[in-house]
Amino acid sequence: MDAVLQFLEAIPYDQILIQTVNGIVTGMILALVASGLTLIFGIMDVVNFAHGELFMLGAYVGVVVMAATGNFWVALILSTLTVALLGAALQLTTLRPLIGRDPLTTILATFGVSLVLQNYALWQFGPVARKIQEPFTGYFSLFYLDYPWYRLVIAGLSAAIIGGFWLFLKHGTYGIWIRATTQDRVMAQAMGIPVPWVHTFVFAIGAGMAAASGVLFGPLVGVNHAMGLDWVLKAFIVVVVGGMGNLGGSIAASIFISLLEAYASIWVSPAQAVIVSFVVLVLTLLFRPTGLFVPTPK
């Protein structure tokens, strides 16, 4: 009994609460990145290795627009649009010729794209991390911490973007086209849906979502050319844990994994906390390879 009490007293409740908030905030951003990735996979069997680089480029475009206009929200919107256009261009030039080939070749092509984009960013912006200024700097007190409102706003905004996108998928005409193409590509084509353009459009949306999360996340950490790698790895984990091509699953998995990592970093360094999510991935693949947050396939 004493041991239990001691254990309960040893748990740092305040830290756990703080980390819960932190975990949810990163989880929402991750969900925004991962939902683009899972959408692209679900609709065209493309594992987009360059997704992290689109996130990174989004953040950089945000930096540039911020420097020019000084307005965060303009930067957010312009960066989303620019990177979405870039995504469409990438899809047209590198992925469209690969339609009908082994899906594994798309990994190779997007890996090449990620190398090019990453080195392009290094060349254009140099190795020194840039910073995006937060749009507002209010704090509220959470135990001994002054917790920035901005973090909560990011979480809310990410949720709003994902929610809006979900409504679009559910009710918009083009959203229905997208869902039809995911379900049965050939049938959708037969019904007169321009499937190749749906692919391009979806890739552009995914790229735009990655860019938006890049800009939103920019104020929390520095923007540098290698930031995409961490995110694409995390997004892969999330997408696999949540069940490939499953939007709701990857959102749940994003929050789940981010919370675990946040709790783990109470005790170990953040670099080592990553291992927790790796372990979750391995266990998922061993015991439930279809994903944690999907109904059991019959």
Closest CB to another protein among residues 120, 166: 120
Closest CB to another protein among residues 69, 105: 105
Nearest distance from residue 244's CB to another protein, in Å? 8
Chain centroid to Cα 67, Å, comes to 25
Is 57 in contact with 83 (CB distance < 8 Å)? yes
Within 8 A by CB and 6+ apart from 241, the residues are 249, 253, 256, 257, 280, 281, 284, 291, 292, 293
Nearest distance from residue 263's CB to another protein, in Å? 17
140 sits in which H/E element: strand 139-142
Closest CB to another protein among residues 11, 122: 122
- Contact residues toward another protein (CB under 8 A) are 47, 94, 97-98, 101, 103-105, 107-109, 111-113, 115-116, 118-120, 122-123, 233, 236-237, 240, 244, 269, 271-272, 274-275, 278, 281-282, 285-286, 289
Closest CB to another protein among residues 134, 230: 230
Nearest distance from residue 71's CB to another protein, in Å? 31
Q: State the DSSP code for 218.
A: T
Nearest distance from residue 128's CB to another protein, in Å? 15
Q: Please list, residue by residue across 51-83, b when 16 or more beta carbons sit within 10 angstroms of its beta carbon and e when fewer do.
A: bbbbbbbbbbbbbbbbeeeeebeebbebbbebb
Nearest distance from residue 177's CB to another protein, in Å? 25
What are the beta bridge partners of residue 123?
Answer: none
Residue 212 identity: A
Closest CB to another protein among residues 64, 116: 116
Q: Enumerate the H helices of 70-172 as residue ranges.
A: 72-90, 103-125, 149-171
Nearest distance from residue 253's CB to another protein, in Å? 14
CA dihedral 104, 109, 115, 117 (to 10 degrees): -130
Closest CB to another protein among residues 16, 268: 268
